[in-house]
Structure 1
Amino acid sequence: MRLKKILLFAFALSSLSIGASKGAVADEPAPPPGDAPPNPEDLLGNIVVVAGATRPLPRIAVLPSSSWDEEDVIMRSVARRDLELSGEFEVLSDDDAPEEAWGARDLDVSIWAKKKVEALVEARARPLPAEGKVELRARVYLVRHGAAAVLDKRFLIPASDLREEAHRISDLVIGALTGQNGGFASRMTFVTGMGKLRRVFTVDADGHDPKPVSPVDEIAVAPAFGRGEELYWASSAQNGEYRIRTASGKVVDMPIKGSVYGLAFSRDRSRVAVSIADGSTIKVFVGPDFASLSPASEVGMALRPAFTPSGKLAYSGEGRFGQRIYVEDKPISPDGLFASAPTFCNHPDGVRAVFAVGVGKDTDLVSTDERGRGMVRLTQGQGRNGYPSCSPDGRLVAFFSTRTSGEGPGLYVMRLDGGRPKRISTLVGDSLRWDPLPPGRGVEMKN
């Protein structure tokens, strides 16, 4: 019961107190006299901070549209927002667009060259109500190459899938401009709420349409998408054990008994990791399915399991002076930093681990490679920032923040290699996951 209360307290505080105290680790032995833990600020003091880093970005523009069709307005707004959130470009505002471009039938790149625009994006949607379909079209022009499109794609999609398919169009546009498709055809899931009112939510990658998924009479933790893209989580009903449940209403039976406090699936959904209460501690178990779990580590208080892009098991667990991040049972975070919630970004420059560390009253995000080398600090002096999760393309990290400056508290995304975080939602929670959407139903059309 004591363990359950400790975990409930830790989850209820969510990102408002991530890593703020050692109370989140149960029964940790005190260090021997005279063997004091190092000061977190001393450990982080010389680490490079990249959160405020700025670098020149290519200036692009989204071509104006004179269409009044709702579908066209949505397509263009989704594409524009995704391009802004990607952090890859400086997107020219509509107010700064050349006046001659509004209502123009033909593309004149010279008027955009005067605005120092390097690339132009055309994102259009045409409703076909008789068929229940929408035609989407994306074109990309490089101003120095004139009016010949370097990308020209058309898709016929179900009208009900408009926003989802609009994100897929954005990803193609980002790919045409950067050499790698974007990661906005995706969704996030997390838990928000306090005390006994903790529910699982899903939300689009741009923060649109947050939806509660779990029942209001359950206390939920650790959501994750699994096989068949079904959403799983652990929850407690009527003060019972935390058991794994699904969005379709199923309760998952497991051979290992105990409350579940962590859950993760590998990228190909071929493996599952579960953090299960074991006496006065928590152990992590791994298997091909819930019926075939076996112990994966002897490290105690093993929480927030995750799989690296190469399939290695990671989690946060007990260390000598606090909680550390482990990959394949090897610690990658410095001893003395209270580290939590690891995630792994398959960045074009190599895999990067991102996790939260407690620093005084604040919690910051740091990044290392899979072995803990090359640590950089992603946030500093902006409240408590935690529960990071990487975008499917590996270039962005999402996280919750309690910051009071700038855009205020909420759910943020930022480039992994630096830049200003951008808020996509005012909701603050924990247990954040970011996963690609299943394949869409759009059909590519010939031009």
Structure 2
Amino acid sequence: MIDHTHDPAASSWVEGADTHADFPVQNLPLGVFSTAGTAPRTGIAIGDHVLDPSAVAPLLRGKGDAALAAIDGARTLNPLFALEPAARRELRHAVFALLTDKDHVAQCQAALIPAAQCTMHLPLAVRDYTDFYAGIHHARNVGSLLRPDNPLLPNYRYIPVGYHGRASSIRVSGGEVRRPSGQLRAPDSGVPAVGQSRRLDYEVEIGFWIGGQSELGDPVPIGRAASRIAGLCLLNDWSARDIQAWEYQPLGPFLAKNFGTTVSPWVITAEALAPFRVAQPHRPDGDPSPLPYLNDEGDQQAGALALRIDVSLRTRKMRDAGIEPVRLGRTEATNLYWTPAQLVAHHTVNGCDLAAGDLLGSGTISGAEDDAYGSLMEMSRGGTRSITLPGGETRTFLEDGDEVVLTGTANSNGFRSIGLGECRATIAPAR
């Protein structure tokens, strides 16, 4: 629902917000932050500041009461996301009015904290985590390395393939990812040995945070599935390709995936994303139409997202030399073969319940060209081609000290672009 909060001419009195690349007043993402000596609490990003809505609650009364009650004393966004979307929309409208009305400057100053003084936390307590495989270019690229004559398995164009991930190892942006160990098998040997992964990789993904509650046994129809997505974030599904190659048959990923997943701290709400909903790209000739439970005309016309995602890398040597991360790839969310609503509808068609705090990963989002790949597995052709970095360093997979940064931007003609913030983590040596 596009409304006055998406007006590109809207201006905030918060210094620097109007020109901020990610968080102008048209965005207002939700997160959880703390400052020195304080407990985690709900925050709203505006420019280079974080607004504490609880500190200005008297100014918001009567406009977002249900949302204010949900965040009062809460250390996560779960209680807020358990409410119907209307509650989030009311809070958004109330905060937008506050930050665009100069009459409230003096009353709000104490509730605005510089972002540099804030520690960000996981925005929700992750109830459960499912990672899909909805990027068809990635699926085809990786499949061609493993099965040159049959890159896409027969079910791919019919079913949103996914696996059950590990919720307990999801971490917020800014930390470290420890290099994992596991069973590895040399190409010329049928006998595995335990060792450190040497083919550690990133995966460029979007995370979809679920809102509301569905009951066990009740599928969510495709026509209502989009309303169950409360917001999104950037997601890096770290992957140990050498461990994965040995373990993935017959049941799929396990230790190659469950050692760490990184998400960006700010949830870009479904309400903020309304102007950036676009048509799902037409399927290539010869591809089957989605089965009826996945096929909705409204979702096909406006169920995809106009999001650009960049992945950058900075080595320890680059960091020591003061060199900024170098961009390795840029991709678009429209490269996904399935819409977010189709992921929800398929996830629940068997009666699986979803609730606030559930997180769905899109799967690696790659484009058709080399500079739009979302993983090193693709860029290096499975480790057979080196990538040259500033200063002459090369990479096929990640080394200790490497820092990977995902950033994202939503763009649409006639609207103010908004950003997703950063999803950043550094590879630490194995213990």
Per the normalisation by structure 1, the TM-score is: 0.26
For the pair shown, the structure with the greater C-alpha radius of gyration is 1
Structure with the higher fraction of residues in strand conformation? 1
The structure with higher relative contact order (CA 8 Å, sep 6+) is 2
